[in-house]
Structures are given as C-alpha cells and as structure tokens.
Structure 1
Amino acid sequence: MPASVQKRDDTKKGPGETLEKRSRESSLAAAALPKKPAENRKEHIINLDRTDSELFAVAPPPPPPPPHPTEKVVVQPKPIVAPERRHSPPPRTSTPTSATPYSVASLQQYTSNFREQNVIRESRLGKVFLAELPEGKLLEVMKIDNPNGRVSVDDFLELVALISEIKHPNTLELVGYCAEYGQRLLVYNHFSRKTLDDALHDREEIDIELSWNARLQVALSSGKALEYLHESFQPPIVHQNFEPANVLLDDKLSVCVAECGLAELMPSSSVTQLSGRLRTLLNYDAPEFQESGIISERGDVYSFGVVMLELLTGRKPYDSSRPRHEQHLVRWAGCQLHDIESLSKMVDPSIRGQCSEKVLSRFADIISRCIQREPEFRPPVSAVVQDITSIVNASREESE
C-alpha cells in the first residue's frame, strides 16, 4: 500500500491506540540496549548497627619512604687528653718528700704530751715545742693552729714538699711532719732556744752580748736567708713573718731564720680583729699588707728594715712605756735617719762609740730605703745584702 494511504489510516485511529503503540516501541528500544554485568551493580544498604568510629574512621598514614643508602664512615680514635687540673690534686697516700712522717702518738711522747713547759717560742701560727727522741736528739715541733680544718691535708702536704726543699746554712731545716687526726705539725732540727728578740730585750735572762759588729753579722746572715728565699725559688718564697723572734741565735751568735715558707698559713684576720701581742707584731709588716693584705718580697724588705732599725736603736717596734711621739719606732726614727746628730742620739746606748759616724750613716741609709712606705721604692734584698757586706768590711778595717 502506498505510504500516503498508510499515513491517512493512522490519523484515523484514536488517541489511546496511538499511546499504546508508542509504549510498545519504547520497550522494544530499551530491550535492544546492551546490558551491564550483574557484578558491577551494588546495592546501597545502610547498616544501622555501625558506630561513629567505624563510619568516620581516619585512614592510616602512608608508610615512610625507604631510607637512603648509607655510606660507611671510618672515624680515627682520638688520643685521650687529661683535663687541665684546676683544683687541688687528689690526696696523697705516700710521703711527698724526704721529710719523715711522724705519728701523733710519737710526737706526744717526744714532747711530754705537748706540755707547756716544753714551749720554746710562740708565733702567729702556733706554739713550738721542744722534743727529745729516745736516743737524745733534740727536735722542734710546731703545732699549727688549725681551727675548723682551715688547712686541708692536700694543702699541708704541698707545703711540706716546698719547705723540705729549703736548705741553707741560715734557715731552719724541716725534717718531718704529721697530718693525723686533723693535726698539722711540722718537725724541725733544733737549733737554739735563744732568739734575737731575747738578746735585745731580755738581756738579764739571756747571756748574749750584742756588740756593733755582732749586730752587723746578724743582719748580714738574716739578709742572706731572705735573699736565698727570694732568689733561689720560682716563684720566690716570701717569708711574711720576719721578726726578731724568728731569728734564732746560738752561743756563737750563728743565725738561723725560722718559719720560712709558711706565708700561706698566715691567718687572714684584719688588724682590727687582733689585740695584744698579735697586734704589736703587725708593726713588722709592710703598710700594704696591713692595709690590703698584699704579700710580696718587698714586704719582707720592709720587715728586714724594721729589724735593722731595732738592731740600731735597741728599741721594740712599739713601746707604750715611752713618750707618745716615740712609741712607734718607724714613725719616730724614720724622719731622723739622715740627721747625723739625731742619729747618734737614737743609737742603742750599749753600742755607742763602737762605730764611726760614716759607717753609722751608711747603715742608717740602708734602713731608710728598706722602710719606704711605697714598695716600689724599696731595694731588692740582694742589693741590701751587698750594702751590708760592704759595711761589715769597712767596720772590720776600722777595728784593725
């Protein structure tokens, strides 16, 4: 049938028939499409039993990247260097020097239990006791005051090592020590009970005549001891307690200086904290030590000058029994040393007329330079010894 006729026939049909026909055609077209496999389709099912932590769980972090390949490094071992010693060395267990270690018990036996009758002299550091060994040999034991362990064992043994090296004809020789039970004891060869202080101021009890020439010899020998301490050690050994009580004299007027090398043990008390005999002792100390605690070789030179002034005048460095303007020896005599008339009057009456004015003036000039207030104006002790030697030679020539 012609197409035009067919079209007309369709138009003649009703609306219902047309919708039915289109529905069948849509179904046939959908059936003709390719179908998806069943496994690719998933049903969306909500599980109401799952918790929030399961629903909102955070994904674990990704694994770390693999490590980079390492290179083999060879480190050469470094030698072990001992650290710099800044503190005291460890305690020694053996004798540091040739000095003999003594027990407290043995020294108690030798000194009769440190009884007062055995005390032969005293100083700022403590008392010195006479000791007698079983075979009869005499020693001197210095019992150093050590409150609250002020001097440690290590410091004490180092000091013993230093003092044991001091060997001179005019210095007292250390032969032993003791550091048991908190004690600090130094043992010396015994030289003499007599001192220059006794010879100058206790003439009735000490039968020693100090002539002018004898006084020059005492000054020379004492100066040689100080010169040895200052010149033979590095750093120099400062005595710091040079005074007539530490200048020992035997019957032949030979000289031995005691307490050498003990400056480190000197108490640090200020002048205002001292009284009595200890305060008068400070008149041998240099002004810089009394004012600032400065210790030096020139301080020893000052003390030596005061002792020589004491040899010249026969007066103590401080004497409250004299008129007020004469009580302090250095202040009174220092300004008169270059006046020959005043100098002649201040000389010890027991030696007046035993030397010429020229020799006396030269000796006074040495004293004047030694007791200068400023340490830089004082000569070294070696120069003082040379000057005294020349005076001794001049005095000997005058005597002949």
Structure 2
Amino acid sequence: FRELAIATKNFRKDCLLGEGGFGRVYKGHMENGQQVIAVKQLDRNGFQGNREFLVEVLMLSLLHHPNLVRLIGYCADGDQRLLVYEYMLLGSLENHLHDRPPDREPLDWNARMRIAVGAAKGLEYLHDKANPPVIYRDFKPSNILLSEDYYPKLSDFGLAKLGPVGENTHVSTRVMGTYGYCAPEYAMTGQLTVKSDVYSFGVVFLELVTGRRAIDHTKPDGESNLVAWARPMFRDRRKFCQMADPLLQGRYPKRGLYQALAVAAMCLQEKAASRPLIGDIVTALSYLASQHYDPKSLHNGKSYGEADRDRKSAAKVDAHE
C-alpha cells in the first residue's frame, strides 16, 4: 500500500483519472519513474466490492490477450483493495465518443472501425479461446480503454462470469450490467450466454457508427433508447445515411456504413439464437477495418477494377443478408 501511495502522490486529486461505481482510478509512477500505471482503489464498502476484486484479480491473472488490459499487480492490505493496471494513454472510448472535450477532434471512420474490431477480438478471446468461456457481461464504452493510436483493450472484469460448460446452454445469475446494454433475454430471465455479450457489442458498435448514447434522455420521445430508435431504420436502406454520426460530416465510405449497420442489426436481434457468434463478427469487421477510407480520394485509393470487384463482393454480402 505504501508503494502505491507514493506512486500516486498519496492519491492526490490531480492524479485522479476517473471515478466509477466501484471507486476511483489514479495515475501513478512506480518508484523507478519508468512505468506509468493506473491504480484502481475500490470503495471499502463490504462484500460486493471484495468479491468483484477477487473476480478481477483471478480473471486478469489467467487471461492474457493484446485486447485485454494488463493487470500489473494488486494490493490487499488491511481493508485496502487496489488493482494496478498498465496506463492507457487515451482514456476510454466514452471520453472520445460522448464526453469529448471541445478541443479534441472527433474520431474518424477508420479509428472507429479499428476500435470496433479490436474490442471484438478481446471478446472473441474470452468466448472462444478461454476455457471455460468467459462472459464479460459489462461491455460498454467506458470499459473500452484506448492506448496510443486508438488501440482498444477491455477493462473492468469485476462482473465477468465463467460461461456454461458441458451440456448446459446458459448460466443463471443475478442481473448485473448497465441499463441500455443488457440483452433482453438476460434482463428478463437472468439467463446469461455468450450471445448476451454479442448484443451488448451491437449496442456499442451502433454508438460508434451513430455517435449517439445507448440511453439519452435529452433526446426527443422515441429517440432516447438507441436500439428502439434504430430498429425501424434498419429495415430501410434509404435511412442508413441519416444514422451516421453527424460529426463524421459525411466522411465515411457509403458501402462501409451499410455493412457496419448490417452487422449491428444482426447483433441486436431480439432472439439470442439468431445473433452471430463473435468470431463471425471479427471476420466481418476485420474486412471493414482493412478498407482504409481516404476522404480525399474519389475511389478511395482504388483503381476502377478494384472498385468494381469490391462492388461485386458487396453485392454478395447484400444477397447473403
């Protein structure tokens, strides 16, 4: 504890990076001065915090992937509970998408697609590579942290759950998570599957494309819930361009927008079984992110032949939908 108190200048206010339901996060420097860290100090209000602390330590000690935030260490000293992570230079996706200071440029299309595919790869590792699978359960913009070059890493594993094993199809659990991101079947029954995370991913991906919050009570009636607003528009391609974030100022590939919204619509299907697996989402988004968009280029840097080939492959995707 003493080491972390020194690293954060005794948890001084000017080292405070952010505050959440769990406690506060401070920026710190380890004694050698070389390593910059983020120190999460959990509220000392009893059992729930302690349990989430243990889950977080266990999960991040066992799970390692470039798109998951790295746990450097922890401190359980008396009633102090602290977690020490690598420091993420650019803060959270929430800071760039919704709480952007006026002097910061909005995210461009390419950065949004890179963030989406990286975050999806983090989920893919949890669902497909971890054994037993891990259901993340709290996928939202404030839990997606960004290092330099907008490289995304999932953080905050306090709510993560080990997924079903053997013959089981789901795990039953108390409904936790964040309003607006919870899959309908999980909110109603407490039955949790990897498809619950796919729904939450769809909400965040829709936020990336539209620039809107999942729940925004400042919007007019009928528009405060992002998914409810988007659902009818998914059925009418002519409305797709109206859904793009106005801050993009039209600087996005039209076909890329259509494909992105098709992926979001698939993730947000009411029936869990109809949603795609995260591996398929990673494949689709890797393609989208590889199509680097250059607003200055007429054919987006492609020859006519390439542009034509792309149109044909897009038509195949459309036919498949």
**TM class, shorter-length:** 0.7 to 0.9
Asked whether the equivalents of residues 50 and 81 of structure 2 are also in contact (C-alpha less than 8 Å), the reply is no
Tell me which residue corresponds to 1:127: 24
In 1, Cα distance between the equivalents of 2:192 and 2:9?
37
The CA deviation at 1:187 is 1.1
The CA deviation at 1:387 is 1.0
Tell me which residue corresponds to 1:148: 46
Tell me which residue corresponds to 1:339: 236
Alignment partner of 1:128: what SS?
strand
Q: How does 1:109-258 map to 2 (within 5 A)?
A: 109-136=6-33, 137-150=35-48, 160-205=57-102, 207-258=104-155
Compute the TM-score of the two structures, normalised by the length of structure 2: 0.79
Amino acid corresponding to residue 113 of structure 1 in structure 2: N
In 2, Cα distance between the equivalents of 1:197 and 1:251?
16
Amino acid corresponding to residue 144 of structure 1 in structure 2: L
Q: How does 1:56-75 map to 2 (within 5 A)?
A: none
The CA deviation at 1:199 is 1.0
Task: Give per-residue Cα distances to partners, 1:282-332, cap 9 Å, x unaligned.
Answer: 212222332333333211111111111001111111111111111111101
Amino acid corresponding to residue 306 of structure 1 in structure 2: V
Amino acid corresponding to residue 256 of structure 1 in structure 2: K
Larger radius of gyration: 1
Tell me which residue corresponds to 2:217: 320
Q: How does 1:257-336 map to 2 (within 5 A)?
A: 257-260=154-157, 262-263=159-160, 281-336=178-233
Distance 1:159 1:350, change over 3 A: closer
Provide the identity percentage. 33
Asked whether the equivalents of residues 239 and 259 of structure 1 are also in contact (C-alpha less than 8 Å), the reply is no
Alignment partner of 2:41: what SS?
strand
Amino acid corresponding to residue 315 of structure 1 in structure 2: R
Asked whether the equivalents of residues 171 and 260 of structure 1 are also in contact (C-alpha less than 8 Å), the reply is no
Distance 1:352 1:259, change over 3 A: same
Distance 1:149 1:357, change over 3 A: closer
Aligned residues: 286
Asked whether the equivalents of residues 120 and 193 of structure 1 are also in contact (C-alpha less than 8 Å), the reply is no
Which of 296, 300, 310 is equivalent to 1:399? 300
In 2, Cα distance between the equivalents of 1:296 and 1:179?
32
Which of 265, 269, 273 is equivalent to 1:368? 265
Distance 1:203 1:147, change over 3 A: closer
In 2, Cα distance between the equivalents of 1:147 and 1:216?
39
Asked whether the equivalents of residues 310 and 316 of structure 1 are also in contact (C-alpha less than 8 Å), the reply is yes
Unpaired segments of 5 or more residues in structure 2? 163-172, 302-321
Structure number with higher strand proportion: 2
In 2, Cα distance between the equivalents of 1:260 and 1:220?
19
In 1, Cα distance between the equivalents of 2:245 and 2:133?
34
CA RMSD between the two structures: 2.7
Asked whether the equivalents of residues 42 and 49 of structure 2 are also in contact (C-alpha less than 8 Å), the reply is no
Amino acid corresponding to residue 82 of structure 2 in structure 1: L
In 1, Cα distance between the equivalents of 2:199 and 2:103?
27
Unpaired segments of 5 or more residues in structure 1? 1-103, 272-277
The CA deviation at 1:220 is 0.8
